[in-house]
Amino acid sequence: EVQLVESGGGLIQPGRSLRLSCATSGFNFVEYAMNWFRQAPGMGLEWVGFIRSKAYGGTTNYAASVKGRFTIARDDSESTAYLQMNDLQFEDTAVYYCTRGSPRGGSGIDFWGQGTLVTVSS
């Protein structure tokens, strides 16, 4: 059974950093890109970024709203993806979801994690 479990969310002050994890099981992690999305309270879905599989260079792509502040990484040995969030702002408050996707990134999104809530507040 494919599973994705996010962790690391919580209450954080503006300007601080937080790292989210997405632990996976039930599939061959190395073959897939990993995507991050978010959803602000009461709002729609927003793409954050993705990291391609190593076969496609393990490169990343980000939304403009987070580029330069957020970094996505992966540890294939642990089947885990990460979202490092620096200089957090109030508007980063959201539930963050990781998803599995096609190895090239950006497409073929099938399985989602349950999400983890990040609240940026002073």
Partner 1 sequence: DIQMTQSPSSLSASVGDRVTITCRASQNINNYLAWFQQKPGKAPRSLIYESYSLHSGVPSRFSGSGFGTDFTLTISSLQPEDFATYYCQQYNTYPLTFGGGTNVEIK
The H or E element that residue 38 is part of is strand 33-39
Among 115, 118, 120, 122, binds partner 1 (CB under 8 A): 115
Contact flag: residue 109 with partner 1 (CB under 8 A): yes
Could you count the other beta carbons within 10 Å of the beta carbon of residue 73?
14
Count residues binding partner 1 (CB under 8 A): 19
Contact flag: residue 103 with partner 1 (CB under 8 A): no
Strands (E), the chain: 3-7, 10-12, 18-25, 33-39, 45-51, 60-62, 70-75, 80-85, 94-101, 116-120
Site for partner 1 in 7-26 (CB under 8 A): none
The H or E element that residue 47 is part of is strand 45-51
Q: In terms of DSSP bridges, do strands 18-25 and 80-85 run parallel, antiparallel, or are they unpaired?
A: antiparallel
Contact flag: residue 61 with partner 1 (CB under 8 A): yes
Question: In the complex with partner 1, which residue's Cβ is closer, 61 or 93?
Answer: 61
Question: In the complex with partner 1, which residue's Cβ is closer, 88 or 95?
Answer: 95
Contact flag: residue 64 with partner 1 (CB under 8 A): yes
CB of 47 to partner 1, least distance (A): 4
Any idea what DSSP says for residue 64? T
Write out the residues near partner 1 by the rule CB under 8 A: 37, 44-47, 61, 63-64, 97, 106-115
